[in-house]
């Protein structure tokens, strides 16, 4: 049922004058899921988010949050959503604590104690005015303000670029406890590295079109492994070139190098073992690299 679905986008299209920012985007986000929304600058991520929050009206198609229409029922949508914008929208003169009090007041809720706990987890000083905070600390405050009301859906627009690794860990732990309680997350970014440790699925948007949606564990299974072997004696290249799935195969005299997806490793290893091996190395390529080659291929197929 739609009321249970944190997000349902159906054929979403957005034009700005003659330029098309979104072209028929459809996707759903499930309860308890972290969805990584990936794409280069200008791909349409922020436009999607602004439509979801009822800040922009779609040219056609619909955006629903827990069954509510984002444009027509935006007030009700806002009660269910916590939003961390890419550029934090804070009041320069107000301290962190004053922000927490003000946001709790706006929502008619007693969230201030929870806000202070979240701030402590992120190591954020609440006594300084927002205008005196570094970019990373302003991001921390935006995260606290978005999470303290325990929203059912959290929308994050490139939220961690200014956070150091330790704070990112604390932030990821917060996201995990949010999803363990059934909360969902839409996490937009232009780099896979930012979302790969927390996302369950990723969707790739390019030029306003959703070109791929994939489970992260499936993407990992497709990711390439770099293989290197040295042999005691020279090996014939045709023993290996006939194997399926190998990419960039180079065999020179007594060495072999190639990349291979997980499914091709067994055949390769058995063929290697037919010869006397001096040294053998197999390492999973960086997921970002696999993702980029996959993404480039999808983009070419789509164009």
Ligand X SMILES: Nc1ncnc2c1ncn2[C@@H]1O[C@H](COP(=O)(O)OP(=O)(O)OP(=O)(O)O)[C@@H](O)[C@H]1O
- The residue within the footprint of ligand X, chosen from 11, 42, 131, 182 (CB under 6 A), is 42
- The residue within the footprint of ligand X, chosen from 6, 39, 54, 159 (CB under 6 A), is 39
Q: Is 160 in the site for ligand X (CB under 6 A)?
A: no
According to CB under 6 A, which residues from 18 to 37 bind ligand X? 19, 21
User: Minimum Å distance from CB 296 to ligand X?
Assistant: 18
The beta-strand segments (E) located in the chain are 7-16, 19-29, 34-38, 60-65, 68-69, 81-84, 153-157, 184-189, 201-206, 209-215, 224-231, 247-252, 255-261, 277-284
Stretch that binds ligand X, among 45-53, 217-225, 260-268, 282-290 (CB under 6 A): 45-53
CA distance 133 to 144: 14
Coil, helix or strand at residue 87: coil
Q: Is 57 in the site for ligand X (CB under 6 A)?
A: no
According to CB under 6 A, which residues from 161 to 200 bind ligand X? 190
**Buried b / exposed e across 26-39, counting CB within 10 Å, b at 16+?**
ebebeeebbbbbbb
Paired tokens of 160:
């961690």
User: Minimum Å distance from CB 71 to ligand X?
Assistant: 16
- The residue within the footprint of ligand X, chosen from 27, 38, 45, 151 (CB under 6 A), is 45
Whichever of 142 and 149 has its CB closer to ligand X, that residue is 142
Closest alpha carbon to 196 in 121, 286, 118, 283: 286
Q: Which residues bind ligand X (CB under 6 A)?
A: 16, 19, 21, 39, 41-47, 190
């Amino acid at each position: 049922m739609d009321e249970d679905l944190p997000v349902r986008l159906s054929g979403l299209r957005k034009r700005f004058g003659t330029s098309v920012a979104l072209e028929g985007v459809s996707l759903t986000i499930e309860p308890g899921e972290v969805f990584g929304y990936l794409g280069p600058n200008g791909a349409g991520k922020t436009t999607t988010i602004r439509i979801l929050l009822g800040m922009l009206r779609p040219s056609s198609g619909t955006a629903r949050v827990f069954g509510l229409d984002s444009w027509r029922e935006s007030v009700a949508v806002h009660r269910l959503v916590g939003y961390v914008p890419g550029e934090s929208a804070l009041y320069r003169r107000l301290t962190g604590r004053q922000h927490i009090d003000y946001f709790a007041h706006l929502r008619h809720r007693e969230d201030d104690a929870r806000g202070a706990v979240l701030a402590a987890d992120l190591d954020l000083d609440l006594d300084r005015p927002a205008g005196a905070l570094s970019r990373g600390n302003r991001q921390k405050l935006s995260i606290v303000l978005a999470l303290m009301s325990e929203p059912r859906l959290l929308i994050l627009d490139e939220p961690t670029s200014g956070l150091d690794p330790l704070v990112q860990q604390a932030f990821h732990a917060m996201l995990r406890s949010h999803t363990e309680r059934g909360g969902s997350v839409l996490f937009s970014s232009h780099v896979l590295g930012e979302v790969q440790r927390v996302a369950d699925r990723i969707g790739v948007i390019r030029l306003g079109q959703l070109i791929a949606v994939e489970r992260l564990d499936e993407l990992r299974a497709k990711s390439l492994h770099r293989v290197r072997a040295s042999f005691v004696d020279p090996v014939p290249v045709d023993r290996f070139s006939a194997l399926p799935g190998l990419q960039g195969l180079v065999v020179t005299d007594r060495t072999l190098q190639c990349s291979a997806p997980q499914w091709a490793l067994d055949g390769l290893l058995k063929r290697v073992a037919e010869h006397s091996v001096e040294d053998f190395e197999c390492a999973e390529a960086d997921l970002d690299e696999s993702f980029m080659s996959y993404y480039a291929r999808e983009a070419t197929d789509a164009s």
